[in-house]
Structures are given as structure tokens and as C-alpha cells.
Structure 1
Amino acid sequence: MSALSILTRALNHRARFSRFTAVACGFSAFAAASLAAPGASAEPAACLSPDPSQWPAAAKPYFMIAFDTSTSMALPVAASNACGYPNDRLGHARCALKKALLAYSGQAHFGLSSLATSQAGCSSACFSGCTYNDFPGNVTGAGCGPEPACGLPDSGCRAGANILVPLQIDNFYSPPPSPSNVPELLNWVDNNCVDSKELYASGNTPLNGALRDIHRYLSNQWTNPIGAPTFTSPLGSLAQGELPCRSVNVILVAGGDESCDAAVDAVDAAADLFAGFSKGGIAWNVKTHVVSIGGATAGHNQIAAAGGTSTANGVANEAEMTRALGAVIRTALKAETCDNADNNCNGCTDEGYRHYCNQGQTCCVWSTPAERATCISAYQASISAGNPSGNLTMLPCTTAAQANDPAAWLCYNPQETCDGNDNNCQNGVDEKTIKCGNPAHCPTTEVCNGTDDDCDGMIDENSVCGSCVPSPEICDGCDNDCDGMADDGAASVPCGLSSPASCAGLMICKTPQAVQPGGCVPGGGLLPCNNNPQVELCDGIDNDCDGITDDNIASVPCVPPGAPQGIVFGASSQCQKGTQACGSNLCQGFVGPTPEICDGIDNNCNGVVDEGVLGAGMPCGVNQPPCQPGITACVSGAMVCQGGVPPAPEVCDGIDNNCNGNVDEVPLADGPAPGQNGCWTQPGNCCAFNGLTWCPPAGATCKGTGSLTPPCNEGKLICLGSSGWACSNAKPPSAELCDGMDNDCNGISDDGFFPGEGQVCGSDEGACQSGFLDCVGGKLDCVSDIPPVPEICDGLDNDCNGVADDAIPPAGACVVPYDTILFPGNRSHPPCMQGQILCTGFGFECVGGAGPAPEVCDGVDNDCDGVIDESGAQPDGVDGTPNPMPPPAVLFGEACGTETGACQQGQYACLNGLAACVGATNPITESCNCADDDCDGTVDEQDPGNPSVCGAGTTCAKSGNACVCAAPCGAGKYPCPAGQKCQAVTSSETGQPIGNYCMPDPCIGCAQEEVSQ
């Protein structure tokens, strides 16, 4: 088909769809545009051809299969299945899906999605060794899928699908056709897990998320949450030649109810698909069909109702599911019927049917599509078993021009009125009407002219000629011969056609009745023709007696003479029977066998598709990783390289897709077009590229800065290998800041009003004065103020911190002033020390130093002369000063102690910072020495609390001036030891005689001493 014919076909189809506004009883209602000239809406020539092989191919329906891979599919099923798969829901559903794909893949295109998990590590025996992984960002539960923030209600951000096989694009408008995806689809239901490609049962049931992802895929694109692959929508645009009548559907194979989000969220997702979206200039409404294995639940029924399919299809096993899938698919496989619509979506309306006008006779007048639809509905209601043709006057009026307009032509034959015109535009005038006379004329009102004007076999009946004038009696209900009897002796009148015999008959005259001479009988005359019309057959005979032989006979299927024997016709066969019109020997439209080629069609019409085709079994492919060579095989109508891995267009995925030894080299098939690689990093769905979505900042475009000025700039799309595409180095506008920059990129720096601007600033504390904030030089500055300055020693609060003259550093060391007359000489010993010159609020003063002070008894050198607590006169000595830490409360230098007995007084002096009595003889323990040792006024007394003055058996005795502890003595009994002599003594304490005691002999050695002298 040429590009021009494709465009014409698309535009015509689009025009028709813009006119279709309502449907009543199977007939479309049409817009007033159908009243336009024939050329404005006439069908393309190919559509008007009687040869079906000339008609354009139909746009195949799309079915995206969302397969429930949750654990609910592992529940057992009692019955076995035709594939020998395991007897659980999963096995039965896989078998039914496999059979449906094999049966309908040539009539519709399919895609396949599981729920939001991935399967890996399987062996060939399902499902041994398989592991199941959640997608990155998965939330709520295992297999629920991620739910990134996108601002949509009803969990509209949930991503719950894993698209395993995208839809095969039916690009009839842009040959060559896209390669078949049926082998890949069958790989997921073949009960072989060697490549981990088999539908499974694991995780939760995110029905809402699965439908949301399919909506994203059909309306734009879908990217796997791991970053790749990305699948774009198969739906084309009007400009490409896409047909808006294409049926787009989702088949939700469900074993369980929604378990990740609210049940109503899945219902809302189906409603969103059915409400539709606009893509490529076409509004698409996607139906959701639910096939519930295990029985339809209330939730499944609600999803189906919201998805435009009323109720779910509850099934118990593979056999029921196979029938249900077939019934669902067949809803989109529509044969063409004559109803002013393109039922099979091939761009042609009512191809193969006759189209009529309805003019010059009673008809239903209309001017709007709604009025025409009302006419059609009323006519259809008039059809009954007793009146199979219905009330033809109710058919809408249709001009000859409208008979060429698909939106307005009639599919019903309004028949002809005998008026000399072609009322139904079938290239004939007054066909099937009754005429009479010579020359023949159409019936008119009877007048008195000797002619049968109304063609009822009677001439001038009903007294049209006035008073009775005798004439030969004829059968007209009147007394022609004026004998007072109507129709007496009148002959029957031949009627009908002479051939065939069943069409020939007589109109017999009714029973004669008495009347006034020349009078007539109401309802008299001839009875209806008693011929016997039959149903019209294709036999060269006018069976229905309408004057036309073999009219309105449907063509019959035919095989022309000479065609090969044993031809197998059917859905997969290339061969098609022709049609043979009644009375024709020509079999038109027959398609015969040809040598078998790989096209998914039984070309040689032997009942087997694609057997023994040339080119199969040959080595093929590329032996450069990741590519692997394979063997050619014909699979589902396409010659494929089977068992190998072929090159693919290089895309950004970290893989050498085209197998040329380079990874992700340019150009990349999924890369941006030249000059179109701009991007932004703001979130949103305004713009998209290979899984990336963003919204440009205000003023910018999807790929450029628009009206934004530097420093703003769009980013660049870069390939990050296995991580896919990313947007790099985008610098969007930001809120304007007071920083000397044009943050919002409007060409003006620091414009606008900034937080705090105009507010009072600074301080009225101390010497400061407040001002107000203003953006100056890229920062908020306090203007019109008196700011703080470093503090100086002037009695003012220069730095405005509430304290005058604070934090002023010392001006140097200083000596505290003192009286050098009172304290002459060196006075630098501690505790005296230098101070610092500090600002005290009264100017600079020497602070922190210490000078000499009068000496006091405190262990300190108060007068700083190097001597501590020395005696002497004030101020250098402590004499005359009171003890600062009594007791005793005394003055230093005054007398201390007692003059009693052996004691003598001293003076109070300061020793080690404490008052002490210095130079005094103090009381001691009493001993035998003729002295008052304890200074209590008594000599040598025995104090009760002290040890004995003398030992046992001795007494302190005094002899002369000597006092000793002596033992008593006497002649004979108590002799004195050598060196002592017994003499009379007194008590040293009382002075009273106490007897004889052994006392030291003072004369021992006296003679010798005298001699030596």
C-alpha cells in the first residue's frame, strides 16, 4: 500500500470516527457531515472492490495479559489439564494460556506481564532451585512492588508489574511487519524452567500496581524498576496511519484479590484504563477483562465492571479457562456487517455489502445523526415474523449522494415505488412494481376514461362515470349492466405472470350482490390474485413473482474449476473460497495454494502451517558475546535464528548489544535525537526519556532553558552503562537569594523581597542606633544604623553589648601605691606583687596588685620586707597588735606565764602565724628536788593524777638544802647503804620532821680531798 493510500485511509477513518457519536440497536448514529458531497467521505476504491483480496488488512486487536504470579496460584485444582502440567491453578492457567496463544496469535497480538517480582536460578525442572526477588524500593509486602511518590491518589504510584514480553507492534501502516513475539510468549508457558522463564507463584497480589504499570506502558512507556529494560507503547499515531478503531485490552488472569493496596485502588486502576488516554492524536479506551481461576470474587467483578466488561469470568480449571480466554479474545475479532461502521477495523465500512438510497418516496425525514438513529430504530422495531421486510416507509430518507457516504448509506433495501424513478439507487427504475395498460403505466387514481387507471383490473369502477349506462358486466363491485345485481356473470381476470406456473393465477370475482341499478357494493370486485409466489432461488426462474429473475440472491462460496484437489480452508490457511453470484459462472475472489513459505500461513493449503520451508536448519547468527550463533527455524510465521543470541541495536545498558566488541558506543538506538539531549532533574511526568521522567522548571522546555538565563542550564542525557540513562549537570532555577547571584534565572540578580528585608536591625543599646535590613552587594546588610565599634575606655558602651568599657585589654604592669615613709626600703617580697592597668569605668587604674600592709600574725609577710611575723614595733612588727585568731585574746609583746614556784614569765610572740608564749618557765610534773615544779605554791607534793614523786618505800625528805627520796633508817634494823647515813630529816613538802632517813653522806671522801688539797 502506498504512503498516500495509507494516509488517505487513516484520514478517512479519522473523519468517520469524528462523526460517530452514538449507537442504537447495532446501528451507528452519524453526524450531519454525512450530508456532504460524495467525494468528501467516499470509501477508498479498495474498500468498494467486490474482491475480498483487495480489501485492506484489519488492525489486529491488542491484548496485554496481566498474569497473577502470587502464591494464590499455587492452590490445587482437582481436575487434570490437557498439557500434563501440575494440577494447581498455575499449571491449569499456563496450559490454557498456551492454547489460547496458539489458537489466536495470527488474529490478535499479545503481550505478557507477571506481578512485581523476578525469578532466577531455576533448573529445567520447574520450579527447582528458583529464587524470587523483590524490585528495588519494594514496600508493604513481598512482591508488592515499589511505590515512589508521584502525588496520585488511590495508590496510583504503585508499580506492581514485571512486563516479560511486550506487545508485538501491528505496524501494517509501516512495512515491513515487526517480528513475531509468539515464541517468546510460549517460552513462558512451556513448563520448562531452564532459562528461568516460566510463569510462577510467589509473593503478594498487587493487582492495582499491575494495572497501573500497564497503563504507563500503553500510554507512554514502562521501565523495569531495576533500570532496564524499557518498553515503549505499541500504539501508533494518526500521522503514521494508526487506526483509532483498534481494540486495546487487558486480560487480568487472577487467582487472588488485591493484597498490597486497598481493593478499591485496583478498581480505580481499571477505571482509569477504561476512561482512557490520548496518544498520537487518538483517544484510547482500554477494557479490562478479568478471568478468575478458582471463581470470580466480588473484587474481581468490581474490577471488570470498572474496566468496561461487566463481570469477571469465573473458571475452575484449564478447560473452562480456555473457553473463557477464547470468548474474551473473540469480543475483539469482529466480522464486517452492514451497519455503517468499520466492524473489523480495516479502514473500510460495510465492504462486500450493497448500499442503497431512499428517495422520491415516503421515508423518515432526518437532519441530525440522532434523528437518523431514531429512524433506524423505529424501522427495526417494525420487523416481525409476519412482516420480515418491516415498514419500509420508516427507513431514513437517503439521497443518491448519501448512498456513496459510508456514514449515511442504507444497508436495507427500501424497494421501489412505481413512479418512473430509481428510488433505491440500484440501477433500475420501478423494479418489482406492478404496471398495467399499453403502454404500461404505474397505478393512478381511477377516472372515467374507459381505462384501468389504478391497475386493479377494473375500468371506471366506483361510479366514476355518473348515472347508470348499461355496459358489459365486469367484476368491479358495480352493476355495470344496470340489472340490479353487481358483478353477476362477471368473468375472472388472469393475473400474475405466465411463468413460472406458480406465478400465474386468477382474480376471481366476489359473490354477486343486489344493488340499485348502476350501484356498487363497498368492497366488491375481484379477489386477490390466487397465484403462489415462492422464495426466490438461483434457478433462472422468477420464484417470488416480482418480475425479476433471481433477484436479491446472496452469493455462495465457490472453488473454481481446475483448482487443486484436497485444499484445506480455515483460519490458518492462505486459501480462501471465492464467491459466485447467482447467474454467473465466475468464481470471484478465490485464493489458491502456493509453495509453502515461512509466514505463519498454510500457503500450500494442506492443513499444516510452515512445514518444510526453504532456509530452515541453516547456521545463523554472530559468534561475538553476548551474541551466539544458532540455527534458522520457522517459528510462528517468521524465520528466526533459534538457539542463538542475535545482535540487537546498541542501547545504553552496559552490554555490547550489537556484538561489535564495543559496549554502549554511539550512536545508541535508545539515545536522544541530535540536539535533543537536554534534560532536567526535577521530579514529575511532564517529559520522559527511556525510563527517566521529569518536569522542566517554569520558563524552560523539556530539553532546553527556554526563557531562563544563566546561571541556569539544562542537563545532558548521559549513558551510565548498566545503570541506564541519567541526567547530568542540570542547574535549575532556585528561589532568589540575597547572594549577588541570579538564582531564579530571570536576568536580574537579587531581585524580589527576601525574608527579613526591611526589618529593624542593629541595636539602640549603648552608643548604637538601629537601622533596617536591605540586600546590598549580595548580602542582607543593616543600613542607616550606627553599628558597634571596638570598646574603648571612655565610660561608654561602644560595642553595644549592654556593658560599658568591657573587654578592654590591660595597659601594662603597675605597682600599687603605698606609703614609702611607713614602709621604707625594699617591699617587693610576696605577697606584694605588681598589678595591671585596667579600665574600671573611671578611667585606667592599677588593678590586681598588692602593696605592703602592717604586719599581723598570720604566717604572711604582710609588710613585704622578707621577714614573716617578726616582732617589733608597728608597722613592721607585730608587737602591740592583738592576736587575729584567738584564743588567746592577747596582745603580742605582753607578759605571759606565772612567777609562782619554779615558773617564770615570758612574752607573747608570733610563731608560724600563731600566738605563742616565748621565754617563760612553765610548770612541769612535780619531782623531789626541794622546788615547786608545777608552780602551784606547794613543794614536792604528791598530785593524785600524777605519778608518785618517790618510789615505793621512800619519801621525799629534806636535809639542809637537799631533798631526796629516802628510805627510813634506824639502828640495827634499818641500816643505810654505803655512801648514806641515817639522819633526822623534815618533809620537803611540809617542812615538818618526819624521822630518820638514809640520806646521802656529804662527807664521803672528805679526808682524802683534804689530803689531796
Structure 2
Amino acid sequence: MKWTKACRIEMLLFLLAVWGCGNAATEITPDRVEQDGRTVPDVRQESTEPESIVFPDGVVTDVADGFVPWDVPTGDGAEVQPECEPGQGCFLHPCSSNDECQSGWCVEHMGQKVCTQPCQEECPAGWTCSQVGATDPDVVFICVSNFTSLCRPCTQASDCMGSTGIKDACVQYGVQGAFCGGKCGPDDQCPLGFACQAVTTVDGVEVEQCVAKTGLCPCTDTAVELGLFTHCQVTNEVGTCQGKRVCTEGGLTPCDAPDPAVETCNGLDDNCDGDVDEGDVVMGLGVCDDGNECTADKCLGVDGCEHKPLSAGECKDNDACTVADHCEEGACVGNPVLCDDGVFCTDDACDGSGGCVFTDNTDACDDGDPCTVADQCGAGVCKGEAVSCECQVDKDCLALDDGDLCNGTLFCDLAEWPYTCKVAPDTVVTCPAPPAGPNAFCKKAFCDPATGQCALVADHEGFSCEDGNACTVGDKCVGGTCGSGVSALCADDNPCTDDSCAPKSGCVHASNVLPCEDGSLCTGGDQCAGGQCLPGGPLLCDDGNACTDDVCHPAQGCVFVDNLAPCDDGVACTLGDQCVQGKCVYSGLGPCEDGNPCTDNFCDPVQGCLAAMNAGPCDDGNACTVGDHCVAGACLHDDEFFCGDYNECTDDACDPVLGCIYKLNQGPCNDGNACTVGEKCLAGVCGGGKPLSCDDANACTTDGCDPGLGCQHKNICVGWHTVAVVPAAFTQQPAGPGTLSLTFGQPASGIQECDGTTVHFGFGPVSIAQ
């Protein structure tokens, strides 16, 4: 559907008028009355803006004197409005619906519903003049509170969102609980009785909010009706227990949290640490923990404590000289720390603190020198007594050979004088290392001195190793093999996981979907998901109505309270959809536009956008058509557009998008001047022609050219006739420039006579006698 120019101007003027009246629209639905045969918002213009606000009746408080929860002027200079009797619906009086207020508007303020007043630009401090969304036919502005939820008990940030959509913070008031704050800053002042302070929210975020100077907040009628509560806690040397403080007519109840107590075997979380009977306690006997990690302690009630020995899992034996501590038959044992500096002449040991000590010894040894005897350790080094090693032949070295076939045999080296006995390199046996794998650490290569043959023998006996099985702990070398230790304990005491062990990866805690209990009175159908016990409670208090706030009352269960939130009535073209008394209603019909100029669109409050075909003018989007008009919902045209420019120097065409196109050509043309020939087109202009020759080769005519008529030949004698020969009566003229002498009787080819006296031949005249 197309808008006329007049429609666009009228709408622009309307929008400018609305914009000049106030701030952005607030979605609050007014009561409506009949006036002059039409329904209009019930706004009584005689209401005036009070310079001060009277504290309303019906507010219950449990705080000390001096707490001022409303924006009430104080001091000697404060002006007080005339008293308004309860039930008259004056500004700030409690209400539950619009018809209870003189202004026709019941709005949220500081946690409860109160009557407000109309405005033009100004409102009392803490209130903003805001347009009521989508009212018809007149635009209405009312005072809307900047502190809709201030001092309302809360447990989370979402509890502090009012009908205007402004979310204030849920502020922690120490051990008293949490209450809704109010946005504040250099340009946003707090109501009397409140201060703008940097506080910590229940989410642990530091923000600036308006908070009560007394440190407590009162209970409003709305909070009492809804049974709103805040969390609180009781703390002593044992721990901290959480509880609630509920709004009642007598104010907030005392914190119902129990006093933290030493855990006993009673099925309760006595110390409020989240675990029940942890440590396996027994009634009257205290905790059943025997201090041994390798026993499974269990509470058997009056039968006392059970300490079942464990042969699985890790532990800590508090011995710095052991590693891989694990449980074996109720005892925590570990494998010795490996101390090996690779030096034969030191004794290696653990120093008791986890470090290693390497002490020099005096053991017999082999310094690898064939020219020494009686090799012995000293100061950590193997040294022997030097002997003569001179020789003449190989057998001279037999006396020095130790008989060990692994370290090579001696020969007499004749390379230089004096000849000495040396080890033949190719006779030294090198044994290959143990193959890689879990047992490699527990073996070593050994060469038998008597035979010179290699073999694998046990090594690192009793020291820790890794058998490649993640489900065992305390593995150690036994007889050259890495022996598996005890089983790993994979129980995580989480009912929402199935515990097992995979040899390659270790403990596996697979999430299950079993029923569970999250400990909340307002949840039901709790079930495990993702390894956690998730509450199913919020689903129980959902009536599927966006126009109610669904809450869970500790004693009453689900409560559905009507709200004033924006909503969607399911019809796309209705405007100002808003909740009123639990239902989603609209306040106006919006435009519908299907993009088709051949339909008139309108909004039906039930069916939505509808379209009726029209027969008006339209635009088919083709620049080469004319007479476009609507037929059966489609845009058709009457004729093709004529693009001729009557210029033979352009090739004329039409583009559906661009319209007429005139392409220049260079063809022959006519410039309209009959006296030129050979014209051509250049840059859209016809020109460049040459003058036309009008010579008719007739001496008896005067030749010329007329631009409109072309060549013109004007006679210069009376009559014309051609003579065959020169006439007899011929007066010969002397020959000379410009004349021609003829002889009587001469052939007269090309000679023409005009007037009987003059003959023209070529370019010269001659006289002829008659």
C-alpha cells in the first residue's frame, strides 16, 4: 500500500508532537472510560503534581524510628500535601488495580503497587514522566517510579525487575539477607532514607546502588501477600547454616536457620557443610574417623563405628623416603625412593627428607686399567696399584689378564716403544639394553665374566615402576617384572555419576540420569544431569501465562500474581500489547504492508493483516511502460513508452530499468541545408557537408543555391533556341579576351541564341546581326 504525500506529512507532524512531549513510552495499560461515544484513557487532568509526598498507610515496617522508605520531605522547610483519606486513591496510596486510583494508574513503587499521577514534564524526585505505551486517541504521560523494587526481599537479580523492565541489583545486607537496591550515581539520587554506596550483589559483583541507611528494609503489603523472603545465615565456631526470613504482617521473621552443631550420626547435616553424617559419625560418640586413610569408616548407629581395612587406593604414609603410597590390608605403605648416582664407589641412600645422600665406600672395584692391580674405592674413585705392562709378545700379557671375558682380552701393542699390554677393543662385550615396556625399568643387561654372554637380570628390586594400568597404584619391581600394585579407588561419592576405571585412562565418572534430591522445598522431580543434581521445581510453578509472575511460596506452593509486563497477543499487527489482569490485551492497531501497491492493507485484531485488491495507479517497475494500473492485484501497463528524439544521429532504445537510452552514431545524415552534401553524424550533431555544385553548364542562366530549395538557375535572355550554324547575318567581332570570333557558315555546335543578337559559346559572347 502506498502512502500519499499528505499522509506522510500528517504522520511526521504527529511524531514530532509526540516526541516533544516526553521520554520513551512505558508499557503500562490504563483503565478506560466512555467519553463522547468513544473509549479513552481515564486520565483526570485536574490532578496536580505534589511538591512533597505523604507517606501512605498500610506499610508495615520492622525497623527503628527514622527509617523513611518513601520520598518524603523532612525538616522544618518541607511542605506537606493536604491529607488524603485512605481509599481515595491519591498519589502513593497502595492499590491493586487502576480503578482504585484518582489518576486511573496503579504502578509499582518500592516493592508494592501504589497510585501515581499524570504529568507533563516534571515529577517528584525519584519519579520520571513517561509516556504510557500505545494509548488512543490521546498520548498520556504519567509519573513512573525509578525504584520499583527498592528494598524488596530477594534471592537473585531477577527478583528485582519491575514492570518497566528495569533490573536493579539484589544487594547483600550482611547477615540480615538480601534486598533489591536501586540504580544511582552522580545523576541519579536516592530516596530519603537511602544512600548511594558501593555494595556487593548476591552474584559477587561490586556496583553502586541505593541501600537503606538503617541496614534493614520494611515489608510491604505486596511482599506479605506474596510471601517474599530473603536468605539469611547463622554462624558459630562450628560452621554456617543458611535459612530464610519471610515477610509477614509483623515484618520479617527471624532467621529460621538452625544453629550449626557438631555432626552426629542422625541423617542430618548438623554442621550445614552440605554433607550428611560426613566422616561416618556415630550417635553420641562423635566422628568415626580413625585417622587411617586405609580403612573404610562407617557409621552403624548405636552399634558403633566400623573400620574396614582397605587394599585399594592411594594414601599418604608421611615418609619422605617413599613414593607411590597405597593401602595394603589397612596399612599405608610406599615404595622406596630411588637414589642412584651411577657411581660404584658411593653408597646411595635417602636422607629422610626426600633427598638422597651419596657416601664414599672402600669396596673393591675395577678401574678398567690393565696395568693396575688391587683396585679399590677411595674418595668416590676407583684406583689400583701400577705394575709393569711391558711386553714383547701377546703371551707376555696373560699374567695381567683378569679372566673376565666381558671386558676384553689383552694383547701386546707393538705400535710404539716400549711395547705395552692393552685391551683389544673388538673383544669388549656390549650388551643391548632391555626392550622398552613396563618391565624395562625392572631389568638390566648383564654380561657373565666367565662366558662373555649377555643376559637380562632383575634390577631396581622393590622400587616404584609403572605397569601401564591406570587402575592400579603402588606398582613396584619384583623379580625383574613391574608388578601391579593395588586397585585405584574411583568412588567420588556423587550419586549422579557411575564410577568405574579404564586401564588406559584411569577413573571414569560417567554422568547418569537417576532421580536425586537437591534439598529445595520448592522443587520436585529432581534428576541427575551432567553429573549434577538439577532441580525440576521451576516447571511446577509455570501456568504458561506470560501475564503472571510465577513464584513458589514456602507454605502455599505456587502463586500466580498478575503483572503489567509487555506481552504478545499472537496478532502481529496489534500495538501496545500489555498484560492487564492476567490477560494480554492490545491498545491499538498497527500498519500492515505487504509491499503490493495493488492491495489496500489493514489490521484485523483477530485475523491479523488482511489485504483488499484495488484498481489504483501503480508502478510495474518497468521504465519502458506507461499507463500502469492495478488489475486483480497485479500491476499492468497500457502501452510502451516512445523514446524517439527525432535525431538521426542517435540510435533510440528503452531499458526497463534506466528508461530511454540515446546512443550516438556516426552514420550519414541530412543537416537540413539543401546546399550541402556528404553530411555525417559526429557527437550527436549532423555536419561536415560540402557545398553543392549548381553549375548547369548553360550560359544563358545564372546559377545559385537556396538552403531550403537547393540549386536555382535563373534565365538571362528572353528565349532560348539552338542554332545549327552561325546565322548569315553575323557581325564578326574582333577576337580578344572574353570574346569569340566566328566565321559565317561555321558549324554552331554548342552555340545557343537567346535574343537574336547575342550568341553565347563557352564563356565569351558574340554579336549576331539579324
- Please, what TM-score do these two structures have when normalized by structure 2? 0.23
Query: 1 or 2, which has the higher helix percentage?
Result: 1
Larger-Rg structure = 1
Query: 1 or 2, which has the higher strand percentage?
Result: 2
